[in-house]
Amino acid sequence: MMMRMRMKFHEQLDDLTDRLASMCHLAGEAIEVATDSLVRADLPQAELVFDLTEQIEQLHGPCEEQALALLALQAPVARDLRQVVTGVHLVSDLSRMGGLAQHVAESVRRRHPDHVASGEAEELLARMGRVAGELARGAEQVLRTHDPELAAELGRRDDELDDLHRRLLTLIQDPAWTGSITAAVDVTLLGRFYERFGDHTVVVGRRVIFLVTGEQLSP
């Protein structure tokens, strides 16, 4: 009887992990589609982002409920407890990633048919979007494998995104910048959306490291 209960518990944990990884996959797809729509000023493609983020939110509630039910009904200890608690936190992290991708799509919708950005600013944002998508794919792999080395690598990859963000801010603060105030505000916000998206993937990595090792990593 006890063995069957343990097997059922771990099956439920595996199911929770798979759902979390699916949320991360959708968030990565959303940020990539949002970036393509940004570069092309493509409204139909931007609308696809809202479909993807809706799918993320459809997983949000069941994941949270499943994790809380495991806490309440199974009273896990040690690593099992860490895995369930980590799952509760990850649901929010992954939902926020989807929300940030949606913010990019909203910018495209708001400025359509015009481009939100142009020239070097648009090029830097496109690069930030590509790196953000790669980080999301890395975070998905971390969630599926629970590999602490892959998790630590997310922080190093995020440094590249932070560097692009600094270059973007330097560009629009340069006296030679010829864009409008509206364009500067849009670009600033977009850069922040991508930078925060990357930060959340790093948090995913830190949570997995905590799950595996029990060690809390400082930011």
Tens-digit pLDDT profile for residues 41-93: 999 999 999 999 999 999 998 888 887 777 766 665 667 777 878 888 899 99
pLDDT recorded at residue 3: 57
Q: What is the pTM of this model?
A: 0.92
Average pLDDT, the chain: 90
To the nearest whole percent, how much of the chain has pLDDT over 90? 68
pLDDT recorded at residue 219: 55
Give CA–CA dist 101/188, Å, rounded: 15
Going by the DSSP 8-state scheme, the letter that residue 116 receives in this structure is S
The residues of the chain scoring below 70 in pLDDT are 1-7, 9-10, 72-78, 214-219
pLDDT recorded at residue 211: 81
pLDDT recorded at residue 78: 67
Residue 4's Cβ-count burial label (10 Å; 0-12, 13-18, 19+) is exposed
Residue 94's Cβ-count burial label (10 Å; 0-12, 13-18, 19+) is buried
pLDDT recorded at residue 84: 79
Residue 181's Cβ-count burial label (10 Å; 0-12, 13-18, 19+) is exposed
Domains located in the chain, CATH noted: 2-213 (1.20.58.220)
